[in-house]
Chain A
Amino acid sequence: MNTITTRAPGAPPPDDHRLLPWAPERTGEHTRPPSWEAPPRERRAPPFQPLRFLALPLRLAWRQLRAEKARLASAIAGVMFACVLVFMQLGFRSALFDSATALIQNMRADVFLMHPLTTASFKPETFPRARASQALALPDVQAAVPVYLAQASWRNPENGSKRAVQLIGFDTEAGVMDFPGLAPLVDTLKRADTVAFDARSRPEFGDMTRLLKERGPFEVQIGNRMMEVTGLIEIGPSFGADGNVVLSEVNFRRLIKERQVSAVDLVAIKLKPGADLEATKRRLAELLPRDVVVLSQAELVKWERDYWEQATPIGFIFAFGSLMGLVVGMVIVYQILFSDISGHLREYATLKAMGYTNFFLSRAVLSAALILAVLGFLPGLGLSWLLYNQVGQATFLPLNMTADRATTVFLLIFAMCGLAGLLAMRKLRDADPADMF
């Protein structure tokens, strides 16, 4: 009687599902009566195939995106825009922090003494010069050099404009602090009123590289004194200082007359080879009064960086900028996906009527979002790389595309598109196959 519903589960399934509609078995030449019963596929779930699970919705999404070139282009442009914005924000953030510490990073010494109230190198608190001599009490300390920091006005030798420049005065002979390019200049800097200029300073100070090549050493007005620029070193501009000038301790005092010799801003210490850095730091901290902190170079860099990150809104500004870029990108992707779904409600409802699940269509929407993430990220990466070079040259900020940052941005963009896809997915509920008739 009821042959269909009672067919044993193990019975061989009828094989006519493979036949084309006009096969003889179907056109009446076959003796078996036509069967409307369910094809066997419904009774035996196919094994789970992860490739099909992802590939088919992905292909559907890609075909749909590809069909509307203008819409695809605007979606890619939106993701690219977000991508470039985030890259630039993160790039600037990191460049600013890097450049904020450019001076410190180029002060190569093992240990530093600093006043605990000093927040950043451009506004130091002074402490007694005697601490440098006291540090020498430890056998592991080879040399301790007091460093004087100050800002003075620099008169551009080309057009006469004035600009504040960072002065770094210390015993250049001691060989404790080794700025790149300093070594060959040690002898000339011993002469009175000589300075070495940071070749990577901002161009507003004058193109010293060219001038030095043309004229040889020449005089520049720093503060109220004419000083001879004898050579170039490399430090790079930072937040606190657009340009740097390195000079001997004596010349520093000639230039900044109000500064007392006994008040120093920093002491750079070189250890003997083989000395234990941590142990020496501990002993220095025990030995010296509380008016100095003992820091390794890495700690000093961190101290400086922390100041810019915490005491200024810079970190927040760039995080906020990145977030805005992501939000704008997300809205664009959401809009594109949403209008794609709205414009194809009938078709999606038809697919549902055909037996496609809401989950399949959700995967298609999410796939579309992730395709956009990849398609937008790649040109965004390229454009950001170009911009890094261009903007880096224009602003003298160290903008570098690192693999770490590219990965971070890709993950952010991927998450952004994924979120947009998840939001747009809700629109799929409106595709109700019952409304199709």
Chain B
Amino acid sequence: MRSIESAPVELRDIGHAYGTGELARPVLRDVNLSVGPGEIVLLTGPSGSGKTTLLTLIGALRAVQQGSATVLGQQLAGAGEKQRVALRRRIGFIFQQHNLLGFLSARQNVAMALEMDGRTSERERLERAGAMLESVGIGDRAESMPANLSGGQRQRVAVARALAGNPGLILADEPTAALDKQSGGEVVRLLRELAKRQGVPILLVTHDPRILDIADRIVAMEDGRITATEAGASAAG
């Protein structure tokens, strides 16, 4: 078992506020959270509880204001733009919308996640992208443009893109929000399965009660604080 220091995500006393001076509106207070290797953690809570802000802080999309955040071994408090960009390359993001580039095919979209790695050849990238699409079950639609895919298929492409770069962490923000029940469930279960295989931890923000069963741990937030932590359904198994 790894020690707690080597946890992929380690947050201590994180505080965050929007605005400055008298207008400052705190959205996070004294948040302590750690995500272990391979762990799937769901963040739930009402709108405005700060869970999305927390996700952007962990994803190095926002500068840490207060407290200490160590993500994949990188201390984010005081980290510069360059370090944050470098860290983002090691994180797979899945958004509410698929956010695929409409002018690229599914395969090219996935390959975009690999283009930052200067050592792969174009052929390797496309092969790898094709293999990722196979693994999310839409290998036959690799050359389709996003406009010609269903919502569930697009989100699968987004999952493939998030996983293609061998990330050390997956951050997902309501990945099922734009999907119907069945395809939403399929996408998160697929995500879970692939992440477990790669041993990648997932931090997933959701309102969707139908997908709570994929979690190892469920963290509830309210008013910028973590109010409850419970073991997820899958942790028992």
By a beta-carbon cutoff of 8 Å, the part of chain A in contact with chain B is: 1-5, 17, 20-22, 26-28, 33-39, 41-42, 45-47, 49, 52, 56, 63-64, 66-68, 344, 346-347, 349-357, 432-434, 436-437
B115 at the interface (CB under 8 A from A): yes
User: Does the CB pair A354–B3 fall under 8 Å?
Assistant: no
Given contacts A21-B198, A26-B199, contact A36 B135 (CB under 8 A): no
Task: Out of B72, B103, B161, B194, name the residue touching A66 (CB < 8 Å).
Answer: B103
Proximity bits, B201-223, A CB within 8 Å = 1, else 0:
10001000000000000000000
Asked if B104 is at the interface (CB within 8 A of a chain A CB), the reply is yes
A residues in contact with B95, CB < 8 Å:
350, 353, 436-437
Contact of B173 with A21 in the complex, beta carbons under 8 Å: no
Which A residue's beta carbon lies closest to that of B158?
A: A350
Find out whether the CB atom of A36 lies under 8 angstroms from the CB atom of B85.
no
Contacts of A4 in B (CB 8 A): 6, 73
What residues on B are CB-neighbors of A56 within 8 Å?
Answer: 115
Q: Does B118 contact A (CB under 8 A)?
A: yes
Task: Give the nearest-CB partner of A44 in chain B.
Answer: B119
Range class of the B interface residue count: 35 or more
Binding site secondary structure of chain A: loop
Given contacts A2-B5, A67-B103, A347-B102, whether A354 and B88 have CB atoms under 8 Å apart is yes
A34 near B99 with CB under 8 A, answer: no
B112 within 8 A of A: yes
Whether the Cβ atoms of B116 and A26 lie closer than 8 Å is no
B86 within 8 A of A: yes
B152 within 8 A of A: no
Given A4-B73, A37-B72, A355-B90, 6 new contacts (CB under 8 A): A4-B6, A33-B37, A63-B103, A64-B101, A347-B100, A437-B96
A432–B168 Cα distance when bound, in Å, is 23
Chain B nearest CB from A317 CB (Å) reads 43
Report yes or no: A39 in contact with B90, Cβ–Cβ below 8 A: yes
**With the chains together, A432 CA to B86 CA distance in Å?**
16
Q: Contacts A36-B72, A49-B118, A437-B205 hold; do A355 and B88 have CB atoms under 8 A apart?
A: yes
Segment at the A interface, from B20-28, B55-63, B179-187, B228-236? B55-63
Whether A346 pairs with B97 at a CB distance below 8 angstroms is yes
Closest to B199 in A: A34
- Give chain B nearest CB distance to A378 CB in angstroms: 23
Q: Would you call B141 an interface residue if the criterion is a C-beta within 8 Å of the partner chain's C-beta atoms?
A: no
Report whether B119 and A46 are in contact in the complex, using a CB–CB cutoff of 8 Å. Answer: yes
Tell me which residues across on chain A come within 8 A of B88, comparing CB atoms: 352-355, 433
What is the distance, in angstroms, from B127's C-beta to the closest C-beta of chain A? 10
Contact A17 B97 (CB under 8 A): no
- In the bound complex, do residue B198 and residue A34 qualify as a contact, i.e. CB atoms below 8 Å apart? yes
Residues of B within 8 A of A45 (CB): 118
Q: Is the CB of B37 within 8 A of A64?
A: no
Closest to B1 in A: A33
